[in-house]
Amino acid sequence: MTFWRSRLAGGIALIVLAALSFASLDTSTKYATQLIPVLMLLWFRYVFQAITTLALRYPAQKWQLLHTRNPSFQVLRGVLLLITTACSFFGLQYLPVGEFTAMMMLSPLVATAMSAWFLKTHVARLRWWLMSGGLIGVLLVVRPGGQVFGWALVFPVGLVASYAWFQVLTSRLSGEENPYTTHFYTGLVGAVVMSPVMLFVSWKPDLLLTYWHWFLLVGFLGTFGHLMLIRAYMRASAPVLTPYLYTQIGFATLGGWLVFSHVPDLLTWIGIAIIAASGIGNTLLSMVESRRQVSP
């Protein structure tokens, strides 16, 4: 069997497709929030995920789709991802897509630090150096006088914190839940939490009718991207696939240039490159450590 027909190659293709979907989601969201209230768009994104996952997976899994061993875990995980998405949707109103995505990619390194502090996981010295490098990259992107420096930085900071906790929780309880069940409950929790908020704060049915294509696009890209992630990780391990997820930075920067005519300056490019290199290095280190554990 050639490499390009292997499960590993399929996983790589799916993870790159997921990265493209997420970058397209961010670009579309930045444009759509100029027309639609953020809370209404956020509500539809999770309603779409819950309904679509139920429609696609229930015929195959039946009631097993709804069975969960950790309902509290599903609720907390769903809330954390909802906070992450909210920070993303609000932040993209004010920040360039490429730079925002690069800062978001710091979350795996922050999750590593949180695992060390709260779960007492051993973290190699090299991994701490990689995290320090990622922080230097972020400082170059958000430096005073730069293109993105301002109060809106609170959104990527909140996103990194919530998504890092999300990753720690998911890692802690991985293997105990069917991935499609988790995907469904993630959408359901977001929809349930956002429905009363949206109805009382920003329900405008005329916008749903006028801009239905934007609602569907945002809902589809978010749901499709996460489904591609699930399918990718069913084919290959996270340490192998995660470096390819950093292609999202390139896709997002390209989208920012094509749609919004935004091009990062030189120092920002250097910062983005450092963040990506730190994240990929962190993943490669995980791969080496896992191989050492397997070796006799």
d(CA 35, CA 159): 23
Give yes or no for a contact between 105 and 249, defined as CB atoms under 8 angstroms apart.
yes
Residues with Cβ < 8 Å from 295, sequence gap 6 or more?
none
Residues with Cβ < 8 Å from 267, sequence gap 6 or more?
140, 143, 146
Alpha helix positions (H), 92-150: 97-104, 107-118, 125-141
- Confidence (pLDDT) at 80: 92
User: pTM value?
Assistant: 0.81
- Confidence (pLDDT) at 156: 86
d(CA 62, CA 84): 30
Tens digits of pLDDT across the chain (296 residues): 454 566 777 888 888 898 899 999 999 999 999 999 999 999 999 999 999 999 988 998 888 888 888 888 889 989 999 999 999 999 988 888 887 887 887 777 777 666 666 655 666 677 677 777 777 777 777 665 555 666 778 898 898 888 888 877 776 666 677 888 888 999 999 999 999 988 777 778 888 889 999 999 999 999 999 888 888 877 776 666 777 777 888 888 888 888 888 887 787 788 778 877 877 777 677 666 656 655 55
Give yes or no for a contact between 237 and 290, defined as CB atoms under 8 angstroms apart.
yes
- Confidence (pLDDT) at 175: 67
d(CA 156, CA 88): 7
- Confidence (pLDDT) at 263: 80
- Confidence (pLDDT) at 286: 65
- Confidence (pLDDT) at 119: 57
- Confidence (pLDDT) at 122: 62
- Confidence (pLDDT) at 145: 59
Domain ranges of the chain: 3-294
